[in-house]
Amino acid sequence: MTPILHLARGTISMCVQAALEEANLPHRLHWVDFAAGQQRAPDYLAVNPKGRVPALVTDRGVLTETPALLEWIAGIATPRLMPSDPWLAARVRETMSYLASTVHVAHAHKMRGSRWADDPGARDAMRDKVTSNIADCAAYLDAQLDGDWVGRAFGVADLYLWNVACWFPGDGVPLDPFPRLHAHHDRVAARPAVARVIALHTAD
Ligand SMILES: N[C@@H](CCC(=O)N[C@@H](CS)C(=O)NCC(=O)O)C(=O)O
């Protein structure tokens, strides 16, 4: 079967879509409308009981969690989109883990505070921390970049970093003060596969 990517506009599913495009892997898209709450509808929960995107339905089953999806696509792509050297691969995973567990979670404190607190005051307090937390993340990521790409060559971690950094200006952290991160962002966005994804996510 042709894999089906469940995705939503502007979300972390963009980098998985971009990885499928970069790898030239045939796939179909199923858009999940967050405004309509479709991520919590029974038919979507049957696909991903976590009620989140992305989810990829393959002939081997459903795969979720962005780092896992990216790594699987990287492994079946030609050329591979992850380093084969174990040390370099671990360094790339280090960045992907940081994006998943720290940066994405810091960003989610803006719109998804109800995951952590019922008290509106507590949610406001969490939202108030988003800009400074994301600025710290941006500074760290900027300092880590010492070449064109996260690894020695372009790979899925670059798509992940690009996707997460798309949210930074909206979180109150423009990219201009972070020259390496900013240049990386532009470099990834200029790739034809990524430009196709951006066009789909920004279309009216
Ligand atoms: N750990 C998951 C997180 C996925 C996630 O939180 N996705 C967000 C969109 S960026 C989502 O589906 N949110 C829906 C909701 O919270 O209702 C991953 O890395 O794939």
Query: Looking at the chain, which runs of residues are DSSP E strands?
Result: 4-7, 28-31, 55-58, 61-64
> What atom of ligand 1 comes closest to residue 12's alpha carbon?
10
Q: Where are the domains of the chain?
A: 4-80+197-202, 86-191
Burial 58-83 (b: 16+ CB within 10 A, else e): eeeeebbebbebbbbbbeebeeebbb
CA-proximal residue: ligand 1, atom 9 (nearest): 11
Distance 65 CA to ligand 1 centre (A): 8
Which pLDDT tens digit goes with each residue over 126-184?
A: 999 999 999 999 999 999 999 999 999 999 999 999 999 999 999 999 999 999 999 99
CA of 2 to the centre of ligand 1 (A): 23
What is the Cα–Cα distance from 57 to 203, expressed in whole angstroms? 25
What is the C-alpha separation between 113 and 120, in angstroms, rounded?
9
How far, in Å, from the CA of 169 to the mean position of ligand 1?
Answer: 19
The answer, yes or no, to whether any atom of ligand 1 lies below 6 A from the CB of 57, is: no
Backbone angles phi, psi at 175, to 5 degrees: -85, -15
Which residue, among 81, 29, 73, has the nearest Cα to 53 in the 3D structure? 29
Question: How far apart are the C-alpha atoms of 171 and 44, rounded to whole Å?
Answer: 28
CA pair distance 182, 66, nearest whole angstrom: 22
What pLDDT digit, counting tens, does each position of 72-121 carry? 999 999 999 999 999 999 999 999 999 999 999 999 999 999 999 999 99
Place of tokens 């990524």: 194
Tell me the one-letter amino acid at 166: C
CA-based Rg of the chain, rounded to a whole angstrom? Answer: 17
Q: Are 104 and 12 in contact (CB under 8 A)?
A: yes
Ligand 1 atom closest to Cα of residue 54: 20
Distance CA 152, CA 149 (A): 6
Q: What local confidence, expressed as pLDDT, does residue 143 receive?
A: 98
Topology of the domain covering 4-80+197-202? Glutaredoxin (3.40.30)
184 Cβ inside 6 Å of ligand 1: no
Q: Ligand 1 within 6 A of 163 CB?
A: no
Distance 85 CA to ligand 1 centre (A): 30
| CATH no. for 86-191 | 1.20.1050.10
Residue 204 pLDDT grade (very low, low, confident, very high; cuts 50, 70, 90): confident
Q: Could you tell me which of 74, 4, 24 has the C-alpha nearest to residue 191?
A: 24
Q: Can you tell me the distance from the alpha carbon of 88 to that of 91, in angstroms, rounded to the nearest whole number?
A: 5
Nearest CA among 144, 156, 184 for reference residue 70: 156
- What integer pLDDT is reported at residue 92 of this predicted model? 97
Half-sphere exposure for 167 (CA within 13 Å, toward CB): 28
